[in-house]
Each structure stands twice: as structure tokens, then as C-alpha cells.
Structure 1
Amino acid sequence: MWTDDDIGRVLERLRRQGNDDGRFEAKSCTTDIGNSVWESVSAFANTSGGTLLLGISEKDGFRPVDGFDQNRIVSKLMEGMGDGNPQGARLTNPPEYEIARCEYDGRPFLVVDIHENPVEDKPCYVTAKGPKSGGYRRMDDKDIRLTATEVFEFENATLPSPADRGIVPEATTADLNDEAVERIITVHEGSKALRGTTSRAERMARLNMTDNSGRIRLAGLLAAGQYPQQYYPKLLIDVSVHPDIRKSDPDGPRFVDRVLCDGNMPEAIDQAVETVAKNLRSPTFVVGAGARTDTEIPKEVLREAIANAVIHREYDSRFTGESVAVDVYPDRVEVSNPGGLWGGVTLETIANGISRCRNTTLVQLMHRIPYSREGAVTVEGGGTGIPLIIREMASRALGAPKFEAGPDRFKVTLARYGVEYQRNRQWLENLQVGLDRYEQTIILLLRQRGAMTVGQLHASLRIDSDDIRRILTGLVDKELVQLVGGAYMLIDGGERPIGSEPSACVQVNGLSMAERELLEALSSSKTLSAREIVEMTGRGLPSVRKLLRGLIAAGLVTATAPPSSRNRRYRLASYARR
């Protein structure tokens, strides 16, 4: 809950900046709640949540208004939210909220925290206006009315889309590429998918390239069409190369290069990857007595990002006038597609490896289509794409991909590397130690950031914490990494000549790596709770408690309270040596 001091600092900050922002909205509402309050509640609930300051006047320098009736406004707010009197509710899908009564300069006002609604409860909107006129989202200090496509995406965010199974009225089997169709059928030969089929037409229907009457489905046209753009001119990948770090000024050169990658989607994806790669730098670095050339952003990362945009985009008729866009700037590559996150996926859970896709028929067709140059498949499927992008970018230690999700659009930004990639590769070569991809990734991150806990490495790489510990144990054994104060760091900043004595780490003999890790997190002068130790080590709470019991029994750790106490904390025993 907010305290007077905490919210006082917020008011002072708002006063300095001179306006509300994306997190806070001030409303005077002395004795009643106007429509604009409900619009802000809708906007916060549909975006990322926020805080209403009721009884605060923006015009008067973010100070409490005279005559503010706290009790009346609390009652009006609760009624409008539908608490106690559903008939008086002003909102459909009202959010969860908390109210704090605060004072500033001795005058009362209310602080109301509005929670973001879960995806299944969006959009929140003013009931009397309906979702298209009464739904809002927050952008900086403005409540922006939802567009028709944003409302559509909210309302269908958990429903599998029928769009890719839709029939393309004018298309015939002549619009399908025989080679592409045969390739799809071939990769399914011997599977249950084709069991009982005897003709090519039956197989195409079974695989959902057509329906049972032979009419062409959108997914079939996109996966195996001769030229889908005959019917859907904008269902392509638009690759634009810009001369500056922002989109070009109308008076300057608009593009360095621009290619509209068309044909069926496997062809378009392949063309887009090659077009982007052609416009990236290709540094050459020494490998032993030879040299090797690589692109700034690995092709497999570009392919995953572009393929994900194609298969996860929205294909409803409201969106078929929009292309997948790939914008190449001097410092980054942005891949964006129409359609927001689907199926309950959020930016926080996007890399958890769970596969959810609104276009199930298109995925079924495309995830096994091979592309000739690489000997792999166009779309891997199974939720592996985003984790692969994160790991491959992190392995260059030059910035994690940035994901941005709006109600009806999604974008991933990939940083370009320049000369830094070559320097990192040269540095790895100079270590003269054989390292696998994951070991390279972790020590490059440690080189970049100085020191990281297991939990921080897990958050950056999306690799299982136990796998990270196994990799770190190997790096400790190779005398490249040390554990200090609960975090891992390179020995002597990674510049130590190989074979020299490593710096001192945990010196307690007979303990496992897990036990030593906990000892390094603890101090004899400061106590920590079990949950704080969990955050520092990245281990699960049951595992931490079990390890602590063993260390207490060994006399290496002391507890401040009995096991049943909620206030139990831990410190390093004063005589324990690390």
C-alpha cells in the first residue's frame, strides 16, 4: 500500500515533469466521478496497469483539491467497478484494484492502483459505449480509444483462428505449385496423417491444403502456392534497408534497398533472409591458422524471427492488407507483423518453450517443409524459436532481442554487432580452451556484465537453472570462472593466462557446488531470508531450504528463529571459512 511519503515523491516528480504519464493519472473529481475516470480505468486495464490519483488537480500543480470527499468518491468508485451493486457497474470486465487513503499538505486524496486485466478479460470498456467506442489503451499520458483491429484481437486472443482454414474463392489446384505440394506430401509419407488415402486429391485434403471438395484453403495457398499475391497482394515480406537509424526523412533517400519477398511463404522467408543477410556486415575472424566469415546476425536467428512473424501473424480479413515488415537499420533489424500475442502468451512467458499458435493449419503445413540450402525445415515448431533467438543473440554477448507487443502488432528487434562480434570471437580464440556453444555464451555474458548469479543467467538465456550450474561447474574446473559473493565472474576479468593460479573461491572442503553457492551468498554480518537466497542463487525454495538444513547441521550457517517462524533468516556462522 502507498504511504504519504511515497506518494508525495510521485507528486513532486509529476510536478517537475508538468504532466501525467503512462503510470499515473490525476483526476480532480471533488464529489463525483466523471467519464474520464472510467476511460482511464479502461486504458490501464487494457495496457499494463496504472495508478489513479483521485482528488489531485493537474492544473494546480498536482496538489489536492479543496473539498475532496474521500468517502463519497470511494463509494462511487466501488459502485462503478460493480462491487456490492452490479447494476451500478460502469465497466464491462472491470479490473482488480486497491485503494489507499493518503494525505498531502494535510489534505486528503485517494491512490487507486488499477491492475492489468488477464488476456481473457480484455477489453475492459465503458459498458454504455460498447467495446468499439468505450475501450481504451494507455499511451504516455493519453487514453487512446481502441481501434477496430485492437478490439478484434482482444476478443479473439484465446480463440484459434479459422482464417488460415478459410477458402480462397477464386483459386484452383492450378494455383498450387506441384513441386511444393509433392514436397509436403513426401514428408508425411508413412505417417498416420495419410493413412487410408489413395489419391493425390485425398492427401491434399487430409493435409488441409484443400477441403474435401477440392477448394483451396488459405494455408495451402500460402504454404504451396504458385503466387498467393495474385489474390492477396500484401501477404508478403517487405524488407526495407534504411540509411539512418530512423525511418527516412521524406526529403532524403528513403531506402538503401527494398525487396518485396513474394511467392509462397517458404520461398518468401528464404528470400527475406538472404536479402537481410546481404545488407549486413560479414566480419572475418581468425580461427587457428585460417579464417572464417560470419554475418553480424546469424542466419538461423533471422530465419526464426521472420518465420515466426509469418506463421504467428493474423490472417483474418481485417489484416490481409498488411505485410510482414523487416526494417534493416545501421544498428539493428526490426521484424514486425500484424496481430498481437495469442493464446495467453505474454512478454514475460514468450520464451518458456510452450508452443501456442493461432494458425494451426498453416503451422501443420510449414513446420516440416525443408529448405534446400541449409538442410533444415522452414519452421521448427514446438516453441523452440524464441529461445533459440535469445540464446544465439546472447552467445555474441551483444544485447538480448527486444520484444514489443501491442494489441494488434508484434515486433522483435535484433541488435547488429559491427566489429564487436569479431573482437569477441578473437578473445575466445585467445583463451586456447575448447568450449562448447553454451560455455562460450556464458563466459561472453560474464565478460560483458562482470558478474552474474545463476538466476540472472537463467533470465538472460532461458536455459534451465540446473543446466546453467552444470556449465558453470565445467567453467570453474577449467579455471575460467570463479564464484564470489553468490555470483559468478571471470577469473581476473578473463585476461588471466591459461594455466596460472586462479583467484581464491570457496575454500570449504567436502561440500557440493550447491552448498558452496549458498555459502557464497551468505554473510556473517547480514541476514537473508530463504526467498532472498532463492533470488540470489536461482534455486527453487524447497532445494534452498534443504541445503540450509544441511549447512546448519554442519555448523556453517546459523538461523535467527525456529523453523516454524515466518521471520526466520540466515547468516554465515562466524567461524565458517569460505
Structure 2
Amino acid sequence: MEAQELAELIQGLRLRRTDTAQVEAKSAVRGLPKNLVHSLSAFSNTAGGTVILGIDEEAGFVPAEGFNANAIADALAEACSEKMVPPVRATISIEEFEGAPVVVAYVPELATSEKPCYIATVGKYAGSYFRGHDGDRLLKPYEIDRLEENKYQPAWDLEPVREAGLDDLDPDLVVKILERERTIHAEVFGKLSDEKAMKSLRMVVEDEGGKLRPTLAGLLAAGIYPQQFFPRLNVTFAAYTGTDRSSDSRGQRFVDTASFIGPIPTLVYETVQAVARNTRLGGVVKGAFRKDLPDYPPVAVREAITNALMHRDYSPQARGSQVQVDLFVDRLEITNPGGLYGAVTIESLGKYGISSTRNQHLSALLEVTPSRVAGRGFVADNRGTGYAEIIDELARELLPPPTPRDSLTSFSLTFLRRAMTEPERAAATFGGNKELIISYLREHYSATSRELAAAAGLSQNGVRKILNQLIEEGMVERMEALRSPKQRYRLVESIP
């Protein structure tokens, strides 16, 4: 390590007066600290880090008196190779700092397929650590199991649901899935009976008694009510009044809450609808045309929800956790159990050729499962392009990319809300422009809220608010029943 880099690391410790997530310093005057193996494990399992020995933390991160650099360097090298599984391939050197020798070791992060790194004498479940901002933390068994899954292909989606039978599958969905397979793979599925085709798709398997049971993948993709067997394999939605989960000054916490049930096609559809009904649909008018400006593009929301349900952790330990969708006044957060799987990292998300599928049979089924979302033929394309489509859709709407957050236990995407247009800002502040709406209705016998929104440059929600005011004032009247989807509005005849 260069002298300047070492000086900057130690200066950073002095400023913070403590170790950091990337640097661990110890005096090691009385020998190699016994708990240093915790840091070796933690750095290996997290993002790597640097160990500096011969620095006295209690004295303000100055060189430790009586430090034997050669002996400590040898002891550290032995600990890395003999006390850790797998061995830690640290780069160890003796450097000079403020006229005194110190031992510096850079511990690289292990490849995903090699984690966890643990202390040999206590074993994997008692000796695997993770590095946080405040030091080393013992990994929980669930986190260790998720790391272990990166070494092989999980098969939780193939697990038979022993309490379920064929009558728990939606016959309409099953027929459409089989029709799709027989269309695109006629040479294979055209020769198979329905039962054999369902077995081949891993929608069903035979139990020990020879009875057909839906697999978890089959139930999630085409079940009538999967939550009968797994109550928390659903989506919960909450729209909050502010920027956090606390109540506002009136004691109100939620604008809307819902718990969605059913197979994945239904979960995706109902979640997209919930986001849409609780957000603005603004617009800009260019000539005779209006361009809708949703707070969150429906295509991006759909892909994010689909990815969360398709790639979440379905291991037994995670089946008590749902996909959570939280809508705040400034952002949308979508969180699923289980972090990124396999070779995929936050840095590689959306990049061509880098894709890993935790639930490969569920993903394959969703590729041929009809979608309920308009404009989408099937639930998923299963080609590793979902995240790229999110980025592209946001870019088309001149919105920033989402912020991903990944841990061993969960993954989340955060979307920022679209900024208000000038007309929307005016409507929010002053109640909108009634004159534009009245002027349009004078020139047209009647109009829909969408047409009036285009004319006034407002969101449909903003226009409806003004229309309700005009109706109360007796200036405008509805032409259809209150909640009719064909609703039109016109001026009351007495209005000059």
C-alpha cells in the first residue's frame, strides 16, 4: 500500500474516532487479537476491507509502542490460511507510518459462490460474520442459508404442495398455459397429454402415493387461491400521507391500504392498479394531442412487481414474508424477501448477459402465463431484460433510474415521484383554473374528464376536483350515473 493511501486511511479513522465498514485497526502489542478472525470473516463476506495492526485506537490511532511487526505479520498470515474456511487470500505487508512499522492487510471479498467465509474452530453457523458500519456482526442462519444457495440451483419452487390438489389450479389458466406451449413448442407439447404436459412443465408432481399435487411454482402461477396454503405469499400495499410511516397532524397514517391475493398474474394486475389510483395522471398538451404523465410509468411498476414476485425467496424460512409496496408522497418502494441471487449484483443489474434466476421453473411458467395487465401478453419474458425495461421506460419519461438496495435478507427498488407540472402546481395551490374548463364546455356540448384535463393541462384527479366544485355551484352537471365509466359533463343551460 502506498504511504499516502495508508495515511489517508488512518486520518479517516482519527476524524471518525472509530473503525469503519472498510477499515479495522488494532494495536496487537500483546499478540494477534483473538477476535481479529471475526473481521477476516466479515470483510470476506461483505465488500472486502483493510486491517491495520500496530495502531493504538484508544490513544487516538497513533503507532502502538512495543509492536512487533514481523511476528504479527507471520501470525496474521497463519490465521488467514489455517483458521478460516475457505482460506483468506489477504495481501499482507509491513509499512511505515509516522516513523513506526505497521502491518497492513487487504482482505478481498470472496466470490459469491465461495461464501460464507467462517472461523474453522466454531463452524459455519457460529463463525460467519458480516461487516456493518459499526463493526462485525454474526450472520444469522437464514442469511447463511441464502449464501449457500448461491452455490447451487435452489428448487423450492418445485416443492409439492401436499395439502393441494388439481382442483386448486385455475382450469382457465392451465388451458391457456398448455395452449401457449403447444403453439410455440408444437414438436414437444403437441405430442403430450394434458397430464404429461403439466408434469413436464413442473406444474404438478406425483406424491409418494402417486397422486398429482401442484408444485409451488404451479400454484403461484396458476392457482386459484395460493394463499390458502401460504397466507403471506401475497402483496401488501400501503399509501401513506407523508414521507414516512408515521401519522400526520390529523392522526391519519394511510390514504389507502390493501392486501392482494390470488396467483401472480392477479397480484401484478391489482398492485399496478393500486399504484395508479393513488397517484396523479398529469399531462401536457401539444397541439390537439395530450401526452399522459403518470407519477410512476405503469410499465416500470409492472416490471418491478413482476420481478419482485418472480425472484423473491420462496424458501420455508421466507414464506412468512410478503412482497411489500409502500407509496409515499415523494417515492414508491417495492421490497421483496431475499437479496439478489447468483452472479447478479447491484452494479450488473440490467446489463446484457448477466442474469441469474433463483426460481427457474416458476420463471419459465410465468413466461407462458397470460397477463391481466393491458398491453402485456404474458406475465414475464424471462430473458433477463426486466430491469433494463424499467430503466428504459423511466428514461423515456425523463425520470431518474430507481435506487436498488440489496442485502442478504431483502431487495428493494425505490422510484422517485415525478415533479409537478406548472398547471398541477397551480391546481394544488389555488384549486385549478375553472375558466379554462368552462370555456371548453362552452365550445363543446359535453366532454369527458380526460378531455377537460387535456384542455386545462391538469391531471384527471385535479380536473375531477374542479368539476365537483362546479357541480356543487350548479354550473356543471353530469350526464351519466355517478360512477359510470362513460361519464360526460356539460354546462347547465342557464349558464351564460
TM category (shorter chain) comes to 0.7 to 0.9
Structure 1 position 219 matched with structure 2 position 231:
no
In structure 1, distance between residues paired with 2:276 and 2:27: 55
Once the two structures are TM-superposed, the CA of residue 262 in structure 1 deviates from its matched residue by: 1.0
Once the two structures are TM-superposed, the CA of residue 193 in structure 1 deviates from its matched residue by: 4.3
Q: Name the counterpart of 1:394.
A: 395
In structure 1, distance between residues paired with 2:188 and 2:320: 33
Q: Is the 8 A contact 1:219 1:365 kept in 2?
A: yes
Residue number among 152, 164, 167 corresponding to 1:171 in the alignment: 164
Give the 3 Å change call, closer, same or farther, for CA 375–346 of structure 1 in structure 2. closer
Q: Is the 8 A contact 1:328 1:334 kept in 2?
A: yes
Q: What amino acid sits opposite 1:362 in the alignment?
A: L
Q: Unpaired runs of 5+ in structure 2?
A: 425-496
Q: What amino acid sits opposite 1:178 in the alignment?
A: P
CA-to-aligned-CA distance 1:460-518 (integer Å, 9 cap, x gap): xxxxxxxxxxxxxxxxxxxxxxxxxxxxxxxxxxxxxxxxxxxxxxxxxxxxxxxxxxx
Pairing of 1:55-70 with structure 2 (within 5 A): 55-70=54-69
Pairing of 1:252-263 with structure 2 (within 5 A): 253-263=252-262
Q: What amino acid sits opposite 2:122 in the alignment?
A: K
In structure 1, distance between residues paired with 2:167 and 2:53: 65
In structure 2, distance between residues paired with 1:300 and 1:225: 24
Give the 3 Å change call, closer, same or farther, for CA 307–28 of structure 1 in structure 2. same
Q: Name the counterpart of 1:381.
A: 382
Once the two structures are TM-superposed, the CA of residue 95 in structure 1 deviates from its matched residue by: 3.2
Q: Is the 8 A contact 1:334 1:412 kept in 2?
A: yes
Q: Is the 8 A contact 1:25 1:141 kept in 2?
A: no
CA-to-aligned-CA distance 1:379-433 (integer Å, 9 cap, x gap): 111111111112222333432222222123211222211226999xxxxxxxxxx
In structure 1, distance between residues paired with 2:196 and 2:279: 45
Q: Is the 8 A contact 1:91 1:126 kept in 2?
A: yes
Q: Secondary structure at the match of 1:300?
A: helix
Q: Is the 8 A contact 2:29 2:66 kept in 1?
A: yes
Pairing of 1:316-327 with structure 2 (within 5 A): 316-327=315-326
Pairing of 1:472-511 with structure 2 (within 5 A): none
Deviates more, 1:365-374 or 1:413-422: 413-422
Q: Secondary structure at the match of 1:150?
A: helix
In structure 1, distance between residues paired with 2:248 and 2:281: 30
Q: Is the 8 A contact 1:158 1:342 kept in 2?
A: no
Q: Secondary structure at the match of 1:369?
A: coil
Q: Secondary structure at the match of 1:247?
A: coil
Once the two structures are TM-superposed, the CA of residue 150 in structure 1 deviates from its matched residue by: 0.7
Q: What amino acid sits opposite 1:408 in the alignment?
A: T
Q: Secondary structure at the match of 1:325?
A: strand
In structure 1, distance between residues paired with 2:120 and 2:253: 45
Structure 1 position 417 matched with structure 2 position 418:
yes
Of the two structures, which has the highest relative contact order with CA contacts closer than 8 Å and spacing of 6 or more? 2
Q: Is the 8 A contact 1:157 1:341 kept in 2?
A: no
Q: What amino acid sits opposite 2:294 in the alignment?
A: T
Pairing of 1:228-243 with structure 2 (within 5 A): 228-243=226-241
CA-to-aligned-CA distance 1:209-246 (integer Å, 9 cap, x gap): 11144211111110111110011000011122222323
Once the two structures are TM-superposed, the CA of residue 293 in structure 1 deviates from its matched residue by: 2.2
Residue number among 117, 131, 141 corresponding to 2:134 in the alignment: 141
In structure 2, distance between residues paired with 1:288 and 1:160: 55
CA-to-aligned-CA distance 1:329-376 (integer Å, 9 cap, x gap): 222211111112222222222222333212111111111222242242
Once the two structures are TM-superposed, the CA of residue 249 in structure 1 deviates from its matched residue by: 6.2
Q: Name the counterpart of 1:405.
A: 406
Relative to the length of structure 1, the TM-score reads 0.69
Structure 1 position 194 matched with structure 2 position 206:
no
Q: Is the 8 A contact 1:40 1:143 kept in 2?
A: yes
Give the 3 Å change call, closer, same or farther, for CA 162–375 of structure 1 in structure 2. closer
In structure 1, distance between residues paired with 2:275 and 2:146: 30
Q: Secondary structure at the match of 1:318?
A: helix
In structure 1, distance between residues paired with 2:25 and 2:84: 20
Q: Secondary structure at the match of 1:283?
A: strand
Structure 1 position 105 matched with structure 2 position 104:
no
Q: Secondary structure at the match of 1:35?
A: coil
Structure 1 position 362 matched with structure 2 position 355:
no
Once the two structures are TM-superposed, the CA of residue 29 in structure 1 deviates from its matched residue by: 1.3
Q: Secondary structure at the match of 1:419?
A: coil
Measured on the aligned residues, the alpha-carbon RMSD in Å equals: 2.1
Q: Name the counterpart of 1:185.
A: 178
Q: Name the counterpart of 1:204.
A: 198
Give the 3 Å change call, closer, same or farther, for CA 421–108 of structure 1 in structure 2. farther
Q: Name the counterpart of 1:301.
A: 300
In structure 2, distance between residues paired with 1:64 and 1:149: 40
Structure 1 position 119 matched with structure 2 position 112:
yes
Q: Secondary structure at the match of 1:8?
A: helix
Give the 3 Å change call, closer, same or farther, for CA 285–189 of structure 1 in structure 2. same
CA-to-aligned-CA distance 1:429-455 (integer Å, 9 cap, x gap): xxxxxxxxxxxxxxxxxxxxxxxxxxx
In structure 1, distance between residues paired with 2:148 and 2:235: 27
Relative to the length of structure 2, the TM-score reads 0.80
Q: Is the 8 A contact 1:285 1:422 kept in 2?
A: no
Give the 3 Å change call, closer, same or farther, for CA 334–193 of structure 1 in structure 2. farther
Q: Is the 8 A contact 2:325 2:333 kept in 1?
A: yes
Q: Name the counterpart of 1:9.
A: 8
Q: Unpaired runs of 5+ in structure 1?
A: 83-88, 424-578
Give the 3 Å change call, closer, same or farther, for CA 375–385 of structure 1 in structure 2. closer
Q: Is the 8 A contact 2:51 2:105 kept in 1?
A: yes
Q: Is the 8 A contact 1:193 1:206 kept in 2?
A: no
Q: Name the counterpart of 1:342.
A: 341
Q: Is the 8 A contact 1:26 1:56 kept in 2?
A: yes
Pairing of 1:278-289 with structure 2 (within 5 A): 278-289=277-288
In structure 1, distance between residues paired with 2:162 and 2:401: 43
Q: Name the counterpart of 2:430.
A: none
Q: Secondary structure at the match of 1:275?
A: helix
What count of residue pairs does the alignment treat as equivalent? 415
Residue number among 73, 85, 101 corresponding to 1:92 in the alignment: 85
Once the two structures are TM-superposed, the CA of residue 173 in structure 1 deviates from its matched residue by: 1.1
Q: What amino acid sits opposite 2:378 in the alignment?
A: V
In structure 2, distance between residues paired with 1:121 and 1:422: 56
In structure 1, distance between residues paired with 2:220 and 2:106: 46
Q: What amino acid sits opposite 2:375 in the alignment?
A: E
Q: Secondary structure at the match of 1:7?
A: helix
In structure 2, distance between residues paired with 1:14 and 1:285: 52
In structure 1, distance between residues paired with 2:43 and 2:225: 43
Q: Secondary structure at the match of 1:33?
A: coil
Q: Secondary structure at the match of 2:103?
A: strand
Q: Is the 8 A contact 1:25 1:53 kept in 2?
A: yes
Once the two structures are TM-superposed, the CA of residue 25 in structure 1 deviates from its matched residue by: 1.3
Q: Is the 8 A contact 1:201 1:214 kept in 2?
A: no
Q: Name the counterpart of 1:446.
A: none
